[in-house]
Amino acid sequence: MNIKNKLLDYFHLLRFHAAASEPVIMLIGALIMNERDLSSLFVIFLIGLFYHIYGYVLNDYADVEIDKKSVELKNKPLVSGSISKRNAMIITALSFLFAYILTFIYFRSIFPMVFLSIAMLLGGVYDLYGKKIPGLSDLVIAGSLAFSFIFGASTVSVNFSSTIYVMWSLVFFGIFFINVVEGGLKDVDHDSLREGKTLASIAGVKVVEGKLVLTWKFKASAYILICICLFLIFFLGLQSDINFWNSSYLNWIIACVLLFFVILGIYLLLHLSIFNRSKIKRLYALINGGAGALIIIMFLPVLGLDVTLILLLLPVTWYVVFNVILYRKPLQPEV
């Protein structure tokens, strides 16, 4: 294998095309707390990248034997053997170490270290124990991302406003929905091969001769979770420092359009009749992209147009550019 292909395999392992999502969550926390220093924001972004790499590489390491049983996952670097498990663990350890070094050097406070530790610990527990603990593991990964948001906020101060707590709840329930509903459907065809079961499989979701069987229990749980998320988004806009619902009608129109696409994506996802991982991934991208944009738009009155546009365009541009580099397709949802 030549150097170029080897390098691409490492970027595949790092899931580098999706690596901007976690840093943006951290950045939002810091920006809400009025952090505007570019050097501090850049360091937070780097820490977010290392947090992303740590989580995804450790997850692939933990799941490699199970992933080998799925035909669709045969090209993953650890499954194909193009990258050794030893090298994957070295990358995981270095990412973990660099995140702490940057935090210690630039944010000399115990609170960022504590919140980063909680996020890393919960992420590690999820990766190593995965779906062996139905429900609990989904709460664990949701908590990890939620505490990564709090980490970003704590790099500025721990005098949190109510907006921080509402946003923490939104991140938590949003990630819980993503993992239980979207993740549960995406991997339902081979999750039965694992030692444990997901909430989707416990609720009776399965693939029978290529057909996706969705139960009323699963659909009801999905709609309850999305209703909680939508309520939190509405409540977020009521916070006095945001006051989104008293802003311009244009903001309302944009929010309603994004909300329409999110609800449409969820409806289509929960009414699939044929199991098609690629289609599920596309709906996954539509729902998450629309919801993420909607939440960022909510902060327009606080962050201003320039910062809001950067937060909107950064993950999208990153995703498209690195998808083209890694997969030669601008919207290849390799997750």
pLDDT at 259: 93
pLDDT at 134: 66
Q: Which of 22, 10, 166 is nearest to 84 (CA)?
A: 10
Backbone phi, psi, residue 206, to 5°: -160, 170
Backbone phi, psi, residue 207, to 5°: -115, 120
Enumerate residues 6+ apart whose C-beta is below 8 A from 276. none
pLDDT at 191: 59
Q: Which domains does the chain have, with CATH numbers?
A: 15-327 (1.10.357.140)
- 8 A C-beta contact, residue 196 and residue 132: yes
What does the alpha-carbon distance between residue 301 and residue 140 come to, in Å, rounded to a whole number? 32
- 8 A C-beta contact, residue 221 and residue 180: yes
> Which 3-state string (H, E, C) describes 150-163?
HHHHHCCCCCCCHH
User: How many CB atoms are closer than 10 A to CB 1?
Assistant: 8
Write the CA distances from 164 to 42, 150, 152, 222, 229, integer angstroms.
21, 8, 11, 25, 15
Per-residue pLDDT of the chain (335 residues; tens, 9 = 90+): 578 778 888 998 999 988 999 999 999 999 999 999 999 999 999 999 999 999 999 999 988 877 777 666 777 888 888 899 999 999 999 999 999 999 999 998 999 999 999 999 999 999 888 666 766 788 999 999 999 999 999 999 999 999 999 999 999 999 999 888 877 787 776 655 554 567 777 788 888 777 888 888 889 999 999 999 999 999 999 998 888 988 788 888 999 999 999 999 999 998 888 888 778 888 888 898 899 999 999 999 889 899 999 999 999 899 889 988 888 776 655 55
User: How many CB atoms are closer than 10 A to CB 328?
Assistant: 8
Which own/partner contact pairs does 323-330 have at CB distance under 8 Å and 24+ positions apart? 323/17, 325/11, 325/17, 326/8, 326/11, 326/12, 326/16, 326/17, 327/17
Q: Which of 330, 69, 331 is nearest to 187 (CA)?
A: 69
Secondary structure class of 332 (helix, strand, coil):
coil
pLDDT at 19: 93
Positive or negative torsion for Cα 83, 185, 49, 324: positive
In angstroms and rounded to an integer, the radius of gyration of the C-alpha atoms of the chain is 20
- Give residue 261's identity as a one-letter amino acid code: F
In which element (H, E) is residue 206 found?
Answer: strand 206-208
